[in-house]
Structure formats: C-alpha cells, structure tokens
Structure 1
Amino acid sequence: MIEIVDTGPLNTIQDLGRPGYRDIGVTVSGAMDPLALTIANLLVGNDAGAAAVELQTFPVRIRFEQNTAFSVTGGGSAALDGETLPPWWMQIADAGQILEILPSKTSARAYVAFEGGVDVAPVMGSRSTSLRGAFGGNDGRALRKGDVLRLGSPAADVLPAGGFGVVPPLREMASLFPVAENGALLIRALPAGEHDLFGADAERFWTEDWKISAQSDRTGYRLSGNPIRLTEPVEMRSHGIVAGVVQVPPGGEPIVQMSDANTAGGYPKIAGIVEADLWRLGQARIGTRLRFVRATHAEARMLDQAIATYIGDVETTARQVGRALKAMAGR
C-alpha cells in the first residue's frame, strides 16, 4: 500500500482509458500522456495499461507502506527521501520512505507507476478516473491528502535494487518531434470535415501561432490567437468527436479535444491531430505556443511505428534486465 502524504488538486488515478462507450455518452478518459504511462508501467514489470497516478499539480509526497518498486516518467523532478532520482527511472523503495515529486519547467504532467498497479475497482473495463462523471479511480474523485491506495500483486520478474531507467522519448526520437525556430511546439494534424468552409482563414490556422489558454483542462485545450471564422454561417447537427479533434466555436478560437473529450459536439471541425503527437500536447503547459503542421496519413503511420518501436525496445530492455537478475540470483 501507499499513502498520499501531500497532493495538489486534480491529481488522479489513470490507465489507458475506457474505449467503446462513447455511444452512451461515456468519455474515454485515461492518461493525458499515454506514452509516459506506458513506459512507467513497463519499467516496473506491469502490463502497459496498468493503473498509475497522473500528477498535474505539485508538490506531491507519497509514503510507501511496504517495499515497493515504482517508476516516475513524464515531467516532474523526483526524490526518494531527499535523494534526487534520474528522469524516467525505476527504483525500489523501502517501507517508510517518502517519494517527493516537484514540478517540471517544461512538462505539465508526471506519472508514477507501482509494481502490481494501483488496485482500484475497474468501471467499464478501466480504472481511470472520470472527474466529470465522478466514477472510476478512487471513488471518482481526485486524490486527497491521507488517501491510502492498495497495490496489485507484483509480477514475477526480478527488479534491480539499484534502479534503472530509459532515455526519454523526446531525446531518443528528437528528430521526429521538432519545435519551431521561435520555440513553438509543432503539432501535426490532418484537415478535417469543415476545413474548407473557413476559406482564407483556414490557411491562417496553419501559419499562425496559437497559445494554450488558462481555460484548458483534461476535456479540452482552448487556444487563444487571431480568431478564424467560417466564410458564412452553417447549421450542423451534433456529431461524434474524439480526442485530437480541433473544433472552432463561434468566437473563432479553436478548442482541441483531449483525454476527457466530449462524446459529441456541433462545432465545425478544422483539423484532427495525429495520435502520435497527442502525448506531446498532453504535456504542454498553460501558455505554451503551438503551430499546427499539415501531415499526411503516411507520416502519421510512420510516427506510430516509431513510437511502437521505442515502446518495444523499452519492454525488451526491461525483460532482459529481469532475466539477468534472475540468472544471477539462481547461481
């Protein structure tokens, strides 16, 4: 078990989400940075989709009630009993030790996975917290000071007592995830259904910078900038939407649907972000400047394959470390 000694608001239990229920109005939820959550789980021998803790407000302090392997990925700076840990790192904590996580200057969210995963009751096949629906996770709410969380049964793999880590994805795949010369985050997207109805403003959507406004959360990022508008009003019926869809309300400032995306909406869609870039957007802080880049389906598939290769390499490395330790223990 672990105890939440201190936490900010809106920190929750998340896994990879609950797809398949949007037709009845249930959002997918899940990690805003699914890549960081996946790697955190693989580092401690869990399945990629095990439940972990997603942190977006800091500082956070967690006390271990028993010897436990854990990992911290994504943003944040972690220390165990005051000793700073490397980024994207797995470590074994002794009973009574305290893990402290402070905010990162560049990334919005950190993920903490524990050997065996966080053991809360699944709802519709997922342990993710839906704050809007008030279900899943820890009673459908954010974590609070004093919460005690049970952990599942650990895997049989042996984990290194001294810890080990991986190269963060933005370093390992730096050439695939560039930033603009002015520091804006480049986000690849495909034109969506109503793209051409914006006329000349559609081109401005791709050439001008946008800023993530304070009116942003897990449901969606509202972008501030020079408004874009339809060439003429259009009546639209409400239709299904998913994470990554970029809608434009009458005010002209786009909204990017995120992990807790609405299940339906009636605003015109100008673009859809490729899935391989959604995890980077999930790590973007309020005030971050973005620039959208037209992608092709072939490029989107290439990025998906590169990320799958990175995940596969991490999984292989973790297994090799476990096998080597097992062999040493058996001598």
Structure 2
Amino acid sequence: MIEILESGPFNTVQDLGRPGYRDIGVTASGAMDPLAVRIGNILVGNEENAAVIEVQTFPFRLRFEQRAVFTVTGADGNPDLDGSELLPWCAYAAEAGQVLELKQPPRLARAYIALGGGLDIPVVMGSRSTSLRGGFGGNAGRPLAKGDRIALGQDAEITMLPAAGLAVVEPAAALCDVFPASVDGVLPIRALPAGEHELFAGDGEAFWRQTWRISSRSDRTGYRLSGQPITPTASVEMRSHGVVPGVIQVPPGGEPIVQMSDANTAGGYPKIAGVIECDLWRLGQARIGARLQFVRSTHAEARTVERAVARYVDDIRQTSRMVKRALKAMA
C-alpha cells in the first residue's frame, strides 16, 4: 500500500493504454512516455504493461506503507527518499514509512513511478489507464489527490530483492545515435507526410521549415502548436475519419494540433503529417512552451529507429533476467 501525501491536478495512474475500442469512441489513453513505463516496469520486475503513476505536476510525494521496490523514470531530475537524493532510472528498495518526493524537473515534462508488483487497480476494458475525459479507469477515473491510498500487487514482496539496485542508461543517452538532440533549444520530431499533405502546396513546405511552439492550450488529448498559420490551397469539406496518437491535423485557424495519448477517436480536419511512433515519447516529454521542428522522415527510417529501440529494451530485459537468476543462485 502507498499513500499520496501531495499531488497536482494532472497526476494519474497509467499503463500502456487500452487499444481496440476506438470504434466505439473510447480513446486508448496510456502514458505520454510509454518507453519510460516499459523500462521502469522491467527494472522493478513487472510486466511491461503494469500500471504506474504518471507525474506531470510537481512536487509529488507518497509514503510507503509496506516494503517495496520502486524506480523513477522519464523526466530528468533526481527523486528524494526521506530527503536523500536518488538516481533516476535505478531501482531502489523502500521500507514502510519512508517518503518519496519528486520535485520539478529541470527540462522535461513527466516522471513515472513504477512499483514492484504494480498498482492493484481494477482493469477496465483491458487497461488500468485513467481516462480523464471519460471519467473511468485508474484511480476512480480522476487524478491522484492527497490522502489517496493504493494497494500494490500481491507479488510486490517477491519482486523486491531481485530488482533493487538495477539501473540503466536513459534512452536519450543510450540511443543518441538514433534520437537527434535539440539544436539551439529546438526539438527535432520526425514525421511522415499524411493524406492531405498535398492540399497545402507551398504552406506544406512551410510546415516543415518553421519552428513551432507548444501552446498553453495543450493537454494529453493534443498539443496545439503556435506559429505562422498554414492553410490549404482551397477549402475542402471532409468527412470525419479515424485518428490516432501522432496524427497532425490542421484546423481552420491554420495552427496544427498533434494528437497525443488521449487522442480523439475521429476528426474531420485535414491531416498534414504523422509523427513516427518511436518519436512520440520525446514529444510526450516536451513541456508547454517548448519549441520543435518537424523533420520529414521515411518509413525505412522509422523502422530503423523502431529496431534500435527494440534492441535497447530487449537488452534491459535480458540483463534484468540474468541479475534475477544470479541472485536466486546465490540465495
């Protein structure tokens, strides 16, 4: 069991989402940085889809009411356990009564707390993710609040000893050869031209050339971008069509919207591009006000990045298994 001591309005329980229900209007939800969730769960000995706490408003504090293993992944910045600074991307053991605190990270947007055994949250439509718009899933369909108490999975004690002490190099550093760094504070995000790209003619090229800023009107549903508006060459009446996270639509005002984890299930705005899936976690870690530029990619490049990420995650998975086997042999 854990108890929330301090939280903000947008901190929720998330996993990797609930795909398969978009045809009935149910968004997938899930973590804005799914890579951080997968790695965090591996570090504490969980299945990769176990429920975690997504923190995007700080400070955040929780108290352990039992012995548990935990890790903090995602945002940069160091968590504190009873006032002692810890490393992120590293599994630790906590004793009953100890307090974990996450302070405002210096650059990135979201941190994830994975706990051994996972969070004992009811499964709704195959997922424990919170749907704030729908008011279901997660912690009674709402953000975490002071005084909330959440049980850990039954195997929390079992996973604790093998996992504690395991650490990894964070993705941005380990995969720097496939994830280009920001240039002068501008984050490059790779995307593919989408169905209605040709409708924008010269403005289509302006979409790729200019630097966009994430507007304060952004949320988990979509990032609204501020910049020089782009418009199609002629007005077009479109039927509503299915959309997924990463789709970039252009409303009549000309400032694009990038669909994110709580993406609408359908929409009628023209689609100018789509962010490649492996770059979505980077976009999910971008703060309000951050600047970004879209880089035209290819399907071949997207597959190359996907394979690099898969190798990275598999290496962590295999290392975790070897450590567990070694510790069991020593017991």
Q: Is the 8 A contact 1:41 1:50 kept in 2?
A: yes
Aligned: 1:200 with 2:205: no
**Matching residue of 2:178:** 176
- 1:326 deviates by 1.4
Aligned: 1:249 with 2:251: yes
Q: Whole-Å Cα distance in 1 between the matches of residues 159 and 202 of structure 2? A: 57
Q: CA 1:95–1:161 in 2, change beyond 3 Å: closer, same or farther?
A: farther
SS in 1 for 2:161: coil
Q: Is the 8 A contact 1:158 1:326 kept in 2?
A: no
**Matching residue of 2:235:** 233
1:190-243 deviations in Å (ceiling 9; x for gaps): 000000100100001111100001010000000000000011100001000000
Structure 2 counterpart of 1:259, one-letter code: S
Q: Is the 8 A contact 2:163 2:324 kept in 1?
A: no
Q: Whole-Å Cα distance in 2 between the matches of residues 115 and 324 of structure 1? A: 19
Q: State the TM-score, normalized to the length of structure 2.
A: 0.97
Q: Whole-Å Cα distance in 2 between the matches of residues 152 and 236 of structure 1? A: 47
Q: Whole-Å Cα distance in 2 between the matches of residues 129 and 180 of structure 1? A: 31
1:85-118 deviations in Å (ceiling 9; x for gaps): 1121110000000000112111100000111101
Matches within 5 A, 1:109-148: 109-148=110-149
**Matching residue of 2:315:** 313
Structure 1 residues not aligned, in runs of 5+: none
Stretch moving more, 100-109 or 240-249:
100-109
SS in 2 for 1:300: helix
SS in 2 for 1:118: coil
Q: Whole-Å Cα distance in 2 between the matches of residues 304 and 225 of structure 1? A: 30
Stretch moving more, 171-180 or 223-232:
171-180
- In the alignment of these two chains, the number of paired residues is 329
Aligned: 1:299 with 2:305: no
SS in 1 for 2:272: strand
Structure 2 counterpart of 1:214, one-letter code: S
SS in 2 for 1:320: helix
Structure 2 counterpart of 1:146, one-letter code: G
Q: Whole-Å Cα distance in 1 between the matches of residues 232 and 22 of structure 2? A: 28
Q: Is the 8 A contact 1:158 1:325 kept in 2?
A: no
Q: Whole-Å Cα distance in 1 between the matches of residues 178 and 301 of structure 2? A: 10
- 1:161 deviates by 7.9
**Matching residue of 2:93:** 92
Structure 2 counterpart of 1:42, one-letter code: I
Matches within 5 A, 1:12-91: 12-75=12-75, 76-91=77-92
- 1:157 deviates by 4.8
Q: CA 1:158–1:132 in 2, change beyond 3 Å: closer, same or farther?
A: closer
Structure 2 residues not aligned, in runs of 5+: none
Q: Whole-Å Cα distance in 2 between the matches of residues 106 and 302 of structure 1? A: 27
**Matching residue of 1:10:** 10
Q: Whole-Å Cα distance in 2 between the matches of residues 192 and 179 of structure 1? A: 25
Q: CA 1:161–1:309 in 2, change beyond 3 Å: closer, same or farther?
A: closer
**Matching residue of 1:150:** 151
SS in 2 for 1:69: strand
Q: Whole-Å Cα distance in 2 between the matches of residues 98 and 243 of structure 1? A: 35
Structure 2 counterpart of 1:316, one-letter code: Q
Q: Whole-Å Cα distance in 2 between the matches of residues 149 and 157 of structure 1? A: 18
Q: Whole-Å Cα distance in 1 between the matches of residues 198 and 253 of structure 2? A: 18
Given candidates 180, 190, 194, the residue that maps to 2:192 is 190
Stretch moving more, 211-220 or 150-159:
150-159
Identity %: 64
Q: CA 1:10–1:124 in 2, change beyond 3 Å: closer, same or farther?
A: same
SS in 2 for 1:30: coil
- 1:320 deviates by 1.4
1:51-82 deviations in Å (ceiling 9; x for gaps): 01000000011100010011110014301111
Q: Whole-Å Cα distance in 1 between the matches of residues 205 and 64 of structure 2? A: 53
Q: CA 1:147–1:157 in 2, change beyond 3 Å: closer, same or farther?
A: closer
- 1:317 deviates by 1.2
Q: Is the 8 A contact 1:159 1:321 kept in 2?
A: no
Q: Is the 8 A contact 1:158 1:322 kept in 2?
A: no
Structure 2 counterpart of 1:192, one-letter code: A
Aligned: 1:105 with 2:106: yes
